[in-house]
């Protein structure tokens, strides 16, 4: 399919619960891929080097036209750079049934130039540990109606895999969960493929790719993300030159999830 990417600079920016305060330090780190279908943004993504974008495998079938949008406003036209997508690589073990291995790479037709507003995100390296409660940020155009003209962001804590499996019964080691268990904050439809990041010292590290959930921002139903650290070897094997930057994220202390005991008696159903 003929896809066009438009890269725009990120400035002030503001998913279910809007909170713009933390994003002033994140905006220069990554840009976003949005798929436009009937005028609606369908998916997101992250720039990981000058020629490659990381996104979700389940987004690929929805591509008809794409924008790599770093701008806070959807209609902003300054500092726009357009690129076609030259190649799409979907993880060979992606399952449309379980949504496992929900990850894909998009190669741009030609490299982009980094600026103060367009830079790649660091990726979580193999061995990274995101303890239960680790602060994380997710960004995208989201699903609020009417559709937002400004890029949205939400701060959510990591929910450990033991606890998340207890709540959802659909979680594999290739996934990482995050959300507020009381509800009200979450990624949603339209954010899929976009990055979830956490800060370690001065670096923002992408821990997850927005994958799926059961509704949006519902109590005790955290969002599920593809765990980026599980795919370091896969990503590096497919990008021959200018390898993306991988950084090991290490949470301090013991993970509360390691001692979590599930009390739930019945699984969640869609």
Catalytic residue among 72, 91, 100, 102: 102
In whole angstroms, give the CA distance from residue 76 to residue 150. 10
Query: Using CA of residue 256, residue 257, residue 263, residue 269, what is the dihedral sign?
Result: positive
Q: How many CB atoms lie within 10 A of CB 232?
A: 18
* 76 annotated active-site: no
* 91 annotated active-site: no
* 22 annotated active-site: no
In whole angstroms, give the CA distance from residue 197 to residue 180. 16
In whole angstroms, give the CA distance from residue 90 to residue 113. 25
Catalytic residue among 58, 91, 165, 207: 58
Catalytic residue among 192, 198, 207, 211: 192
The per-residue b/e assignment along 132-150, b for 16 or more CB within 10 angstroms, e otherwise, is: bebebbbbbbbbeeeebeb
Query: Which stretches of the chain are assigned E, i.e. beta strand?
Result: 4-7, 32-37, 40-41, 46-47, 52-55, 66-69, 81-90, 104-108, 122-124, 135-140, 152-159, 175-178, 195-200, 203-212, 223-227, 246-247
So which residues are the catalytic ones? 58, 102, 192
């Amino acid at each position: 399919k003929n896809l066009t990417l438009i890269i725009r600079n990120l400035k002030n920016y503001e998913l279910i619960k809007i909170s713009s305060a933390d994003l002033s330090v994140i905006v220069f780190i990554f840009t976003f891929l949005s798929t436009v279908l009937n005028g609606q943004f369908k998916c997101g993504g992250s720039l990981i080097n000058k020629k490659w974008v990381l996104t979700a495998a389940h987004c690929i079938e929805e591509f008809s036209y794409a924008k790599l949008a770093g701008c806070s406003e959807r209609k902003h036209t300054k500092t726009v750079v357009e690129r076609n997508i030259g190649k799409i690589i979907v993880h060979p073990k992606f399952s449309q049934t379980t949504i496992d291995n929900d990850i894909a790479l998009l190669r741009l037709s030609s490299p982009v130039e980094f600026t103060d507003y367009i830079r790649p995100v660091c990726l979580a390296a193999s061995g990274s540990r995101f303890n239960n409660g680790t602060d994380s940020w997710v960004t995208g155009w989201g699903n609020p109606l009417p559709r937002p003209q400004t890029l949205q962001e939400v701060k959510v804590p990591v929910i450990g895999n033991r606890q998340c499996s207890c709540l959802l019964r659909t979680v594999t080691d290739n996934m990482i969960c995050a959300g507020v268990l009381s509800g009200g904050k979450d990624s949603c439809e339209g954010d899929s493929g976009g990055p979830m990041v956490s800060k370690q010292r001065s670096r923002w590290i992408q821990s997850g790719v927005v994958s799926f959930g059961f509704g949006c921002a519902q109590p005790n139903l955290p969002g599920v993300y593809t765990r980026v650290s599980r795919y370091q070897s896969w990503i590096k094997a497919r990008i021959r030159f200018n390898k993306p930057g991988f950084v090991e994220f290490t949470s301090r202390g013991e993970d509360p999830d390691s001692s979590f005991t599930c009390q739930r008696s019945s699984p969640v159903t869609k």
